[in-house]
Amino acid sequence: MAAVRNLLFIMCDQLRYDYLSCMGHPTLKTPHIDALAGRGVLFRNAFCASAVCGPSRMSFYTGRSMRSHGSTWNGAPLPIDELTLGDYLRPLGLKVAVAGKLHFTPDVAGMTRLGLDPASPDTLLLRQCGFEPYDLYEGHVRPPDDSAYMRYLKARYPGDDPWSDHVVGAEGPDGQALDGWLIRNAHLPARVAEPDSETAYTTDRAMAFIREQGDKPWCLHLSYIKPHWPYLAPAPYHAMYPPETHLPIARQIHETRDAHPVVAAYRKNDEGSFEREDVATNAKIAYMGLIKQLDDHIGRLTRFLAEAGRLDDTMIVFTSDHGDFLGDHWLGEKEIFYEQAVRIPLIVVDPDPFGQRGIVDDRLVEAIDVLPTLVEAVGGKVPAHIVEGTSLLPHLRGGDVAAKDAVFSELDYGFRRARQVLGRQPGECQGMMVRTERWKYVEWPGYAPQLFDLENDPGEYQDLGADPAKARIRREMKDRLFDWMTTRKLRARLTDAEVEARTDTHRARGIHIGIW
């Protein structure tokens, strides 16, 4: 083991915190991901900044909460002057690249206003959130036909759109092609060969990148699109998890009565179909298979790193941007603030001689903590007046840790049918969560809050948002949100040291105030 020189920042998409065997899943065995945990620290209480791909990732990439970076939804551009991981790592000599998904939307209007050409090579990094696009692949999000993966597929499969026909094409029992977007087909195999699937391809590309770097330092963001929908796994993974291997759906009938207005409105989104048991079950067959496949590729990648000698000088972060309801709470997808959506898996392997091995850390940590961890791991320092996360290095190396007593998450549901169901305007659709070890409080401006007692009701079935006996707790939690809002980093253009140096200096500049 040696000092950290490289950073492998692995993100899965929509991988729920409890769908790993190291996180307690009883039937879904993930030995390779578990092995990462065995070599590092498993954070069992990690939370994303927003349970939506885009804003969650922008918080990972900036180390700032959603309300600070301003990219509140998929496709909402990140303001051009937000600093991202590459801005911090590149000056330290690392090549910073991505293989897989970013879900980043460039601030073209901002570039144009400043006279920057959004089509010029000069603005490449601004267009890719500060990552060199080694092999960018956004899955379902953008037309897939401009990606290297699409070209790869076209060289191997017939037709104009082999992605739709094979990756998202399901093979029926009689060999017929069926639409893999439809959940009724989620138990069928994808028509793509496993080695050509998204997870396999992206792993290949990651290994190619690492191989190409030789001994030069790098940060690779290996960003898998899976197990995000479309729920469809290639053989043999499609058939590994029949319904009897599934966790029971976590929901109670009373949740559908007197539901919180925003939760009720979310059940009217398309994914409200997950209240049907067959939808949830069929989705889980594919979902679990996709995770098993991911685990096998993490195993392949780990062996590759071992053989290349890179396990000794590479910090590995394994996480996800958010979770998936899979029918729990009568919900599908993610976004609202139940644990299934906002809690994320987080494992960090630190090859530093002081890096701890096989530790389980149950303290509250946040997605915004990852950026400062990565930067500090390679000797950098993040500006305290910009970055809102806290480095996890003390967690990793057994140092004194001032544990967080609360974590926070946000949502802008203005882009969702739920907004229209509720009759609200864009810009008035916020949700804000604060969660301590004991309590989870969600502020929904315009509506009553939600409150859950995680000690007595870990399943979050009893909303105490209107319970008169809990008024004091709600008050306390709302005040925590207040304090949190006031401590977001507002003064983004002067460091604390510059403020210190400028404090009370007017006399030295010949400015006399109030001198008789």
Residues in region 349-408 near a second copy by CB under 8 A = 384-385
Answer yes or no whether residue 114 interacts with a second copy by CB under 8 A: yes
Site for a second copy in 195-224 (CB under 8 A): none
Alpha helical stretches, state H, 308-388:
339-342, 370-377
Residue 398, both tokens: 């057994």
The distance of closest approach from Cβ of residue 163 to a second copy in the complex, given in angstroms and rounded to an integer, is 11
Residues β-bridged to residue 366: 47
Q: The tokens 């498993």 sit on which residue?
A: 42
**Of 295-303, 359-367, 396-404, 414-422, which segment contacts a second copy by CB under 8 A?**
414-422
> Which among 337, 339, 335, 343 has a CA at the least distance from the CA of 416?
335
> Which among 92, 377, 334 has a CA at the least distance from the CA of 217?
92
Looking at the Cβ atoms of 102 and 432, the one nearer to a second copy is: 432
Site for a second copy in 65-84 (CB under 8 A): 66-67, 70-73, 75-81, 83
Answer yes or no whether residue 284 interacts with a second copy by CB under 8 A: no
DSSP track, 177-203: EEETTSGGGTTSEESS-GGGSHHHHHH
Answer yes or no whether residue 445 interacts with a second copy by CB under 8 A: yes
Beta-carbon contacts of residue 380 (< 8 Å; ≥ 6 apart): 88, 89, 91, 92
Answer yes or no whether residue 485 interacts with a second copy by CB under 8 A: yes
The distance of closest approach from Cβ of residue 70 to a second copy in the complex, given in angstroms and rounded to an integer, is 5
Report the side by side order of strands in the sheet with 177-179.
Answer: 177-179, 169-171, 189-190, 233-234
Answer yes or no whether residue 416 interacts with a second copy by CB under 8 A: yes
**Of 188-196, 233-241, 370-378, 417-425, which segment contacts a second copy by CB under 8 A?**
417-425
Answer yes or no whether residue 492 interacts with a second copy by CB under 8 A: yes
The distance of closest approach from Cβ of residue 414 to a second copy in the complex, given in angstroms and rounded to an integer, is 5
Site for a second copy in 304-333 (CB under 8 A): 332-333
Looking at the Cβ atoms of 150 and 454, the one nearer to a second copy is: 150
Looking at the Cβ atoms of 9 and 88, the one nearer to a second copy is: 88
Looking at the Cβ atoms of 130 and 355, the one nearer to a second copy is: 130
Which of 93, 172, 426, 458 touches a second copy by CB under 8 A?
A: 426
Looking at the Cβ atoms of 3 and 492, the one nearer to a second copy is: 492
The alpha carbon of residue 507 and the mean position of all alpha carbons in its chain are separated, in whole angstroms, by 49
Omega before 230 cis (within 30°)? yes
CB 332 within 8 A of CB 278: no
The distance of closest approach from Cβ of residue 81 to a second copy in the complex, given in angstroms and rounded to an integer, is 5
Looking at the Cβ atoms of 32 and 417, the one nearer to a second copy is: 417
Which of 370, 432, 442, 477 touches a second copy by CB under 8 A?
A: 432
Which of 430, 462, 470, 473 touches a second copy by CB under 8 A?
A: 430
How many Å apart are CA 352 and CA 3, to the nearest integer? 5
CB 357 within 8 A of CB 40: yes
Answer yes or no whether residue 140 interacts with a second copy by CB under 8 A: yes
The distance of closest approach from Cβ of residue 149 to a second copy in the complex, given in angstroms and rounded to an integer, is 17
Site for a second copy in 12-71 (CB under 8 A): 66-67, 70-71
Site for a second copy in 227-246 (CB under 8 A): 229-230
How many residues lie near a second copy (CB under 8 A)?
89
Which of 26, 115, 173, 468 touches a second copy by CB under 8 A?
A: 115
**Of 363-371, 433-441, 447-455, 495-503, which segment contacts a second copy by CB under 8 A?**
495-503
Q: The tokens 């069992």 sit on which residue?
A: 44
**Of 35-43, 285-293, 368-376, 482-490, which segment contacts a second copy by CB under 8 A?**
482-490
**Of 96-104, 105-113, 170-178, 337-345, which segment contacts a second copy by CB under 8 A?**
105-113
Beta-carbon contacts of residue 292 (< 8 Å; ≥ 6 apart): 28, 29, 30, 237, 240, 241
The distance of closest approach from Cβ of residue 386 to a second copy in the complex, given in angstroms and rounded to an integer, is 10
Which of 87, 165, 312, 453 touches a second copy by CB under 8 A?
A: 87
DSSP track, 74-137: TT-PPPTT---HHHHHGGGT-EEEEEE-------HHHHHHTT--TTSGGGHHHHTTT-EEEEE-
Which of 1, 27, 112, 113 touches a second copy by CB under 8 A?
A: 113
The distance of closest approach from Cβ of residue 191 to a second copy in the complex, given in angstroms and rounded to an integer, is 17
Answer yes or no whether residue 107 interacts with a second copy by CB under 8 A: yes
Beta-carbon contacts of residue 98 (< 8 Å; ≥ 6 apart): 128, 131, 132, 133, 134, 135, 136, 220, 221, 223
3-state secondary structure of 66: helix
The distance of closest approach from Cβ of residue 426 to a second copy in the complex, given in angstroms and rounded to an integer, is 4
DSSP track, 244-287: GGSPPP---GGGGSS--HHHHHHTTSGGGGGGSHHHHHHHHHHH
The alpha carbon of residue 308 and the mean position of all alpha carbons in its chain are separated, in whole angstroms, by 28
Answer yes or no whether residue 494 interacts with a second copy by CB under 8 A: yes
DSSP track, 415-465: GSHHHHHHT--TTS-EEEEEE-SSEEEEE-TTS--EEEETTT-TT-----T
Pairing of strands 177-179, 218-227: unpaired
Which of 92, 116, 240, 259 touches a second copy by CB under 8 A?
A: 116
Answer yes or no whether residue 270 interacts with a second copy by CB under 8 A: yes
